[in-house]
Every structure is written in C-alpha cells, then in structure tokens.
Structure 1
Amino acid sequence: MSYQFNDKDPIYIQIKKRLEDQIVNQELTENDQIPSTTEMVNFYQVNHITVSKGVNLLVDEGIIYKKRGIGMFVAEGAREKLLEKRRGDFIDRYIVPMLKEADKLDIDTEELKEMIKAAKESDIDSS
C-alpha cells in the first residue's frame, strides 16, 4: 500500500503534517509510540532520509520524543502545542484576510458574526 502525496509541499513536510493530524485527531495520544521509521518508509514508499527529516522536525518542536533503542513517542502536551500553533495559523491564514475583506465591503462585526453563524448552520444542515 502507498500514500498519495500532493505536489504542493515537500514529502517530508507532508509526512510531518500527517503525524500532526493523527495527534490532533487523537489517533495518537500522549506517550503513544508512533510507527517506526522503517514502517513509515514501507507505508509511504519513500526514502529513509525523507521520513527521518519529517520526524526530526517534530522532535525539534517537542511534539515527539525518542527513547533510544525503543522508538519514538508522542510527547506530553503535544496536542495542545499543535492546537495552539494551528489556531495562530488559522488566524493569520483565514481570519485576518476575511476581516480585511469585510472592511472593504463595510461589513461590521455583528453582521460578520451572523454570516459565519448562518454559513455554519447551513454546512451542518447539508452534512
């Protein structure tokens, strides 16, 4: 079995993001062992160095930790760190541009709240 990568990001970043998603979605929780580098190499069908590069970024960020001779594990507080980081990214990527566009369109905060609420409700209804 192999995994489909996109052309947008380097493969090691996509592997890193996949592990982050598993932590955020609680498929991997604190102190869970993550798949070994060899398992990921076989699953993703990529070079060992590519997998190691993505995993080492998570080690550097304190999201996972290594136990020598045993494997790699999800660090305590990893999910909270990732959620905090993603919320900041969400603000920068979506909220700030939305607010700028709302200002251009003379949409005030209350009207914007109502628009968000209505869009969320219609999304829930269509699910």
Structure 2
Amino acid sequence: MSHSIDDSQPIFLQIARRISDDIINGATKEGEQVPSTNQFAKHYQINPATAAKGINLLVEQEILFKKRGVGMFVAEGAREILLKQRQVEFYKRYIVPLMQEAEYLQLSTEQIKQMIDEGGND
C-alpha cells in the first residue's frame, strides 16, 4: 500500500480502485488475500468503516470474497471482470466524447484511425 488518499473522490471508492488496480496489474493475484479493513484504516489513517465500505463494494461485484475468520481474498475471474468494467468505463469516458467531437468536426472514422496511427502528428 503505497498510494495516498486525495480529495478527488470518496475515500471508499479510492480504496476499491486501489485494490482493483492491484488485481489488474497483477500485484494481487486471484486467490490471494487483500489487506484487511484495519490495515487500510491504519495505513491511510481513516475510519475502518470507510475502508470496509470500499472492500464491500468489491464483494458485491464478486471481485473479492470472504473466508470467515481469515479475511478477504481475490475471487477467481476477478481480473477479467475488472478489465471488462474498465473497458466499458474507457468507452464511455473517452470514446463517446471523441466520436461526438469528431462528428462535430466532420472527421471520418478513417481520419480518426489515421490520427491514432500517426500518434497525433500533424
């Protein structure tokens, strides 16, 4: 746990995002245990209930599961679920506005592909 908390979004969402990022980049693998709510609370100096809210969000999404008396673990298939979620998020956040602006500027799909292939060079 090396990241810091910021004011850009609710803390519980940042906790969930950090766990998700670690799963996506392979730092935490399927079947491995994630830090406890108390570990998150101590590290980030936050309320354990806030950390629990972030972890429970991932439990609801079937990314994490609880082993009673042991802790939270990464579920099988979690990485694929997260990748699909992030791909949808990417599409909505970047591709949809890009296509709307391209339409406004009367750019064809081929012109957009060419721009991407050229890396934005004029």
TM-score (norm 1): 0.89
**8 Å contact kept, 1:2–1:45:** no
Query: Hey, what's the Cα distance between the residues in 1 that align with 2:12 and 2:23?
Result: 17
Q: Percent identity?
A: 48
* Closer/same/farther in 2, CA of residues 119 and 2 from structure 1, 3 Å limit: closer
What is the letter of the counterpart of residue 38 of structure 1?
N
Moved over 6 A (4+): none
Q: Which runs of 5+ in 2 are unaligned?
A: none
Describe the SS at the equivalent of 2:65: strand
Higher helix share: 1
**8 Å contact kept, 1:3–1:43:** no
Describe the SS at the equivalent of 1:46: coil
Give me the CA root mean square deviation: 1.7
Deviation of 1:45 (Å): 1.1
- What whole-Å deviation, never above 9, does each CA across 1:44-72 have from its counterpart, x for those lacking one? 11111010010000001100000000111
Q: Which runs of 5+ in 1 are unaligned?
A: 123-127
Deviation of 1:4 (Å): 2.5
TM-score (norm 2): 0.93
Deviation of 1:18 (Å): 0.6
